[in-house]
Amino acid sequence: MTVCLLAEVAAEQAEAASGLLHLSGASGVEIRDGEGLPPPGVAPPPRGRAELRGYFEAISDADAARAVLAERFGASGYLEEVREELWAESWKSHFHPLQIGRIWVVPPWIEADTPEGAQRLVLEPGMAFGTGSHATTTLCLAALDRLLEARPGASVFDVGTGSGILAIAAAKLGAGRILATDDDPIAVRVAGENAARNGVAGAIEIAAAGAEPPGLFDLVVANILANTLVALAPFLLQRLASGGTLLLSGLLAAQADEVAGAFASLRELPRQREQDWMLLSFQG
């Protein structure tokens, strides 16, 4: 049997909480935040909330993860047993091919032909967040597509890469130098595996966060959390080349003004919104 940990958190905390479950040993995590249709007969979570489902092989691991969620996010989760064969197939039903601009994101078990003119990006949902289906990721993918179409060969710095989806997309879209970093060692490993799966490992430098990257970048993208974006503002500003573009997401619309204030030295471009989520863009 597989043990499922169910917990509810604020929507803006969902990806951070998901990452925590992965670090706690979850073999897979689902986020249900109202961005897509829930399974038949299942009510969506309340507005501004997200339901997490983390799947564990050992009840002790699930119980320890529940305690960590309660401590970090105030989430009171509960455990239930599910048949492993049902989990192994049912979670896949939530992932479908998704086209954003010239990028076609598809899970590896789907063998459908790539749409004409699109770049196929194969992504295994699981060990690091960023599957392409969340509004914050689709906003960033669409912006990268537009920017790299106008400026092919531009250098890209992907801060907090997670699954590596944005860096891989940048490589597929013709970016020049690409650096992707993350402070989660699992994410660094998974991003490398996903880059290799997509045949672009040689085009992307993937590293642990913390080291000062050499040089400046034409495009800097950070899809993280609002408070982290504010804290990283000096670092991100230092990495942006003159005339470059900074993309910030992972924040709710209600948090946009606070985050934008930390980057007031740049010229803000029109904001992009999808449901409750926002993408901020700045010109260096």
pLDDT < 70: residue spans in the chain: 1, 34-44, 83-95, 125-133
Domains of the chain: 2-94 (3.30.70.120), 98-283 (3.40.50.150)
In the chain, the amino acid numbered 13 is Q
pLDDT, tens digit (0-9, with 9 covering 90-100), for 143-170: 999 999 999 999 999 999 988 999 999 9
Residue 43: per-residue pLDDT: 59
Reported pTM: 0.74
Cα 64 to its chain centre, rounded Å, is 25
Residue 38: per-residue pLDDT: 46
Q: Report whether 155 contacts 219 (CB < 8 A).
A: yes
3-state secondary structure of 194: helix
Q: Report whether 280 contacts 271 (CB < 8 A).
A: yes
